Protein backbone atom coordinates (compact mmCIF):
# COMPACT_ATOMS: atom_id res chain seq x y z
CA UNK A 1 0.00 0.00 0.00
CA UNK A 2 1.41 3.36 -1.03
CA UNK A 3 0.77 6.22 1.34
CA UNK A 4 1.10 9.83 0.35
CA UNK A 5 1.51 12.50 3.01
CA UNK A 6 0.75 16.08 2.09
CA UNK A 7 -0.78 19.36 3.18
CA UNK A 8 -4.54 19.49 2.88
CA UNK A 9 -6.35 21.91 0.61
CA UNK A 10 -9.87 23.28 0.64
CA UNK A 11 -11.18 20.50 -1.60
CA UNK A 12 -10.28 17.99 1.12
CA UNK A 13 -12.60 19.63 3.68
CA UNK A 14 -15.59 17.25 3.29
CA UNK A 15 -13.44 14.15 3.79
CA UNK A 16 -11.67 15.73 6.75
CA UNK A 17 -15.04 16.59 8.28
CA UNK A 18 -16.06 12.92 7.92
CA UNK A 19 -12.88 11.75 9.61
CA UNK A 20 -13.56 14.21 12.43
CA UNK A 21 -16.96 12.58 13.02
CA UNK A 22 -15.36 9.13 12.96
CA UNK A 23 -12.84 10.29 15.54
CA UNK A 24 -15.59 11.56 17.86
CA UNK A 25 -17.65 8.38 17.44
CA UNK A 26 -14.60 6.31 18.32
CA UNK A 27 -13.52 8.36 21.30
CA UNK A 28 -16.95 8.80 22.86
CA UNK A 29 -18.38 5.48 21.67
CA UNK A 30 -21.62 7.01 20.41
CA UNK A 31 -23.17 8.09 17.10
CA UNK A 32 -24.54 11.21 18.74
CA UNK A 33 -21.72 13.51 17.69
CA UNK A 34 -21.55 17.01 16.21
CA UNK A 35 -19.36 17.92 13.28
CA UNK A 36 -17.34 21.05 12.68
CA UNK A 37 -19.21 24.30 12.37
CA UNK A 38 -19.45 25.67 8.83
CA UNK A 39 -16.23 27.39 7.87
CA UNK A 40 -14.26 26.08 10.86
CA UNK A 41 -11.69 24.39 8.63
CA UNK A 42 -11.13 27.43 6.38
CA UNK A 43 -8.29 28.82 8.49
CA UNK A 44 -6.25 25.70 7.77
CA UNK A 45 -6.35 26.26 4.02
CA UNK A 46 -5.51 29.95 3.87
CA UNK A 47 -2.08 30.67 2.45
CA UNK A 48 -1.89 33.77 4.65
CA UNK A 49 -2.07 31.77 7.86
CA UNK A 50 0.37 29.35 9.38
CA UNK A 51 -2.28 26.87 10.56
CA UNK A 52 -2.42 23.77 8.39
CA UNK A 53 -3.65 20.21 8.11
CA UNK A 54 -1.56 17.22 7.13
CA UNK A 55 -3.31 14.29 5.49
CA UNK A 56 -2.36 10.74 4.57
CA UNK A 57 -3.77 9.43 1.32
CA UNK A 58 -4.02 5.78 0.24
CA UNK A 59 -5.50 4.61 -3.06
CA UNK A 60 -6.60 8.14 -3.85
CA UNK A 61 -8.54 8.55 -0.63
CA UNK A 62 -7.68 10.50 2.50
CA UNK A 63 -7.40 8.01 5.35
CA UNK A 64 -6.08 10.26 8.13
CA UNK A 65 -5.47 13.87 9.11
CA UNK A 66 -3.92 16.01 11.78
CA UNK A 67 -4.77 19.70 12.18
CA UNK A 68 -2.03 22.01 13.43
CA UNK A 69 -2.48 25.51 14.85
CA UNK A 70 0.36 27.97 15.31
CA UNK A 71 -0.18 30.10 18.41
CA UNK A 72 2.66 32.49 17.80
CA UNK A 73 1.75 35.06 20.44
CA UNK A 74 1.29 32.43 23.14
CA UNK A 75 4.35 30.57 21.88
CA UNK A 76 3.17 27.06 21.21
CA UNK A 77 1.96 24.74 18.48
CA UNK A 78 -1.43 23.14 19.11
CA UNK A 79 -2.39 19.81 17.59
CA UNK A 80 -6.12 20.16 17.22
CA UNK A 81 -7.59 16.91 15.84
CA UNK A 82 -6.04 13.61 14.83
CA UNK A 83 -8.01 10.87 13.13
CA UNK A 84 -6.94 7.72 11.31
CA UNK A 85 -9.81 5.81 9.75
CA UNK A 86 -10.31 2.44 11.43
CA UNK A 87 -8.94 0.15 8.66
CA UNK A 88 -5.64 2.06 8.66
CA UNK A 89 -4.94 2.30 12.39
CA UNK A 90 -1.92 0.71 14.00
CA UNK A 91 0.28 1.12 10.90
CA UNK A 92 2.30 4.13 11.95
CA UNK A 93 0.19 6.76 10.17
CA UNK A 94 -0.73 8.71 13.32
CA UNK A 95 2.90 8.67 14.40
CA UNK A 96 4.05 9.94 11.02
CA UNK A 97 1.53 12.80 11.05
CA UNK A 98 2.66 13.85 14.52
CA UNK A 99 6.31 13.78 13.38
CA UNK A 100 5.39 15.99 10.43
CA UNK A 101 3.77 18.48 12.81
CA UNK A 102 6.87 18.41 15.00
CA UNK A 103 9.10 19.12 12.01
CA UNK A 104 6.85 22.01 11.11
CA UNK A 105 7.02 23.31 14.70
CA UNK A 106 10.81 23.16 14.59
CA UNK A 107 10.84 24.93 11.25
CA UNK A 108 8.67 27.82 12.42
CA UNK A 109 10.76 27.87 15.60
CA UNK A 110 7.93 27.53 18.10
CA UNK A 111 8.03 25.16 21.04
CA UNK A 112 6.40 23.34 22.76
CA UNK A 113 3.83 21.20 20.95
CA UNK A 114 0.62 20.91 22.96
CA UNK A 115 -2.62 18.97 22.64
CA UNK A 116 -5.45 17.37 24.57
CA UNK A 117 -6.35 13.73 24.93
CA UNK A 118 -9.39 12.23 26.59
CA UNK A 119 -8.16 10.32 29.61
CA UNK A 120 -10.45 7.43 28.62
CA UNK A 121 -8.55 7.15 25.31
CA UNK A 122 -5.91 5.00 26.94
CA UNK A 123 -4.19 3.65 23.82
CA UNK A 124 -3.84 7.11 22.31
CA UNK A 125 -2.53 8.43 25.65
CA UNK A 126 0.07 5.64 25.71
CA UNK A 127 1.08 6.37 22.14
CA UNK A 128 1.69 10.05 22.91
CA UNK A 129 3.76 9.16 25.96
CA UNK A 130 5.87 6.87 23.79
CA UNK A 131 6.37 9.77 21.39
CA UNK A 132 7.79 11.86 24.23
CA UNK A 133 4.75 13.87 25.31
CA UNK A 134 4.24 14.46 29.00
CA UNK A 135 1.10 15.03 30.99
CA UNK A 136 1.02 18.75 31.43
CA UNK A 137 -2.30 19.55 33.07
CA UNK A 138 -5.12 17.34 34.29
CA UNK A 139 -8.32 19.02 33.09
CA UNK A 140 -10.92 16.59 34.36
CA UNK A 141 -11.93 14.26 31.53
CA UNK A 142 -9.04 15.54 29.40
CA UNK A 143 -5.31 15.66 29.85
CA UNK A 144 -3.22 18.40 28.31
CA UNK A 145 0.04 16.97 27.02
CA UNK A 146 3.14 18.79 25.85
CA UNK A 147 6.55 18.16 24.36
CA UNK A 148 9.49 20.54 24.16
CA UNK A 149 11.25 20.39 20.84
CA UNK A 150 14.60 21.70 19.76
CA UNK A 151 14.58 24.67 17.48
CA UNK A 152 16.05 24.15 14.03
CA UNK A 153 18.47 26.95 13.23
Ligand X SMILES: CC(C)(COP(=O)(O)OP(=O)(O)OC[C@H]1O[C@@H](n2cnc3c(N)ncnc32)[C@H](O)[C@@H]1OP(=O)(O)O)[C@@H](O)C(=O)NCCC(=O)NCCS
Q: Which of 8, 23, 101, 105 binds ligand X (CB under 6 A)?
A: 23
User: Which residues contact residue 29 at a Cβ distance below 8 angstroms, ignoring those fewer than 6 apart?
Assistant: none
Q: Give the strands of the sheet with 142-147, arranged side by side.
A: 3-7, 52-58, 61-71, 76-84, 113-118, 142-147, 134-139
Please give the residue whose beta carbon sits closest to ligand X in the complex.
94
Contact 12, 4 (CB under 8 A): no
Q: Judged by CB under 6 A, which of 20, 54, 55, 83 binds ligand X?
A: 83
The distance of closest approach from Cβ of residue 56 to ligand X in the complex, given in angstroms and rounded to an integer, is 8
In the stretch 127-146, what mask flags binding to ligand X with x, by CB under 6 A? x-------------------
Query: b or e along 53-74 (b: 16 or more beta carbons within 10 Å of the residue's beta carbon)?
Result: bbbbbbeeebbbbbbbbbeeee
95 interacts with ligand X by CB under 6 A: yes
32 vs 41: CA distance, rounded Å? 21
Please, what is the minimum distance in Å from the beta carbon of residue 46 to ligand X? 24
Instruction: Output the smallest distance, CB 153 to ligand X, in A.
Output: 29
The least distance separating ligand X from the CB of residue 77, rounded to whole angstroms, comes to 15
Q: Which residues bind ligand X (CB under 6 A)?
A: 23, 26-27, 82-84, 89-95, 117, 121, 123-124, 126-127
Amino acid sequence: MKLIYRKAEALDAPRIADLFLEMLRTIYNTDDVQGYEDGYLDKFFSTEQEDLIYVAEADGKIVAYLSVEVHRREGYIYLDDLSVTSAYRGQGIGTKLIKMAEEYASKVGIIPVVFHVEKSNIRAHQLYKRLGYQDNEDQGSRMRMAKELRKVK
